[in-house]
Amino acid sequence: MDTAELKSRAKEQLRGKWAIAVGTVLVANIILEVDVGYKVASKLGIEGLSYSLDLIALLLGGVISVGLCRFLLDMATKRREPRFDTLFSSFNIYLKTLGLNILITLAVLAGTLLFIVPGIIVSLMFSQAFYILSEDPSKSITQCINESVNLMSGHKWELFYLNLTFIGWWLLSLVTLGIAALWVAPYQKLTEANFYLYLNNN
């Protein structure tokens, strides 16, 4: 796998689509990444709000993740015009997305509690499950998990390295007070979608 090629492909796919990509990924991250809201709520002493944010992420994390995967694959494959509302297109399989999200969250948490490294490994093993479900909603939770584990067999380091190559971009985001993150996030997400397609095609 050529990491530079996957990143170059993502840049090409984003050409002329930056606005829809930035907007969709930003909304998805607001829902999925509760860290910032949690810290703000905690500092303000609004403990109830911080717990509510955790609950929202748990309840909506799966369905939004599947919708985001569909959106990213539409951009990567050009099989459909990427649309913002695709982010919310998986509520017809809500319970399945919820179960998958809870299972992955608990597995990663258990691995992290043992030591940090096992948590990272589990996260990498299950990283393709939402993509798999987004492409075939008829698959069961266990099928998505098992297929992700199979896809990632021998490729965990490749995905880990792929994410490491974005560290420079995220440092730039810090320097720009988070403004650059608006572009870095969809760039990284779309590169990861191309990684999934690479695994699927091989």
- Provide the Cα torsion 162, 64, 130, 110; round to 10°: 80
Per the prediction, the chain carries an average pLDDT of 90
Q: Coil, strand or helix: which one is 133?
A: helix
Closest CA to 68 of 20, 1, 10: 20
pTM of the model: 0.89
- Mean of pLDDT values over 16-29: 96
Q: What is the DSSP letter of 85?
A: G
What pLDDT shows up at residue 35?
A: 47
Q: Pick the residue with more confidence: 112 or 24?
A: 24
What pLDDT shows up at residue 37?
A: 47
- Provide the Cα torsion 187, 37, 168, 132; round to 10°: -40
Q: Give yes or no for a contact between 199 and 151, defined as CB atoms under 8 angstroms apart.
A: yes
pLDDT at 64 over 80: yes
Q: Pick the residue with more confidence: 94 or 202?
A: 94
Label residue 32 by pLDDT band (50, 70, 90). Answer: confident
What pLDDT shows up at residue 36?
A: 46
Helices 181-201 & 156-164 angle (0-180, nearest 10): 160
Q: Give yes or no for a contact between 106 and 67, defined as CB atoms under 8 angstroms apart.
A: no
CA–CA gap between residue 68 and residue 48 (Å, rounded): 28
Three-state secondary structure along 90-104? Answer: CHHHHHHHHHHHHHH
Segments of 9-159 assigned E as strands: none
Among the residue ranges 30-39, 42-51, 111-120, the one predicted with the least confidence is 42-51
Which residues have CB under 8 Å from 112's CB, separation 6+? 118, 119
Label residue 51 by pLDDT band (50, 70, 90). Answer: low
pLDDT at 65 over 80: yes
- Mean of pLDDT values over 156-171: 95
- Mean of pLDDT values over 26-51: 61
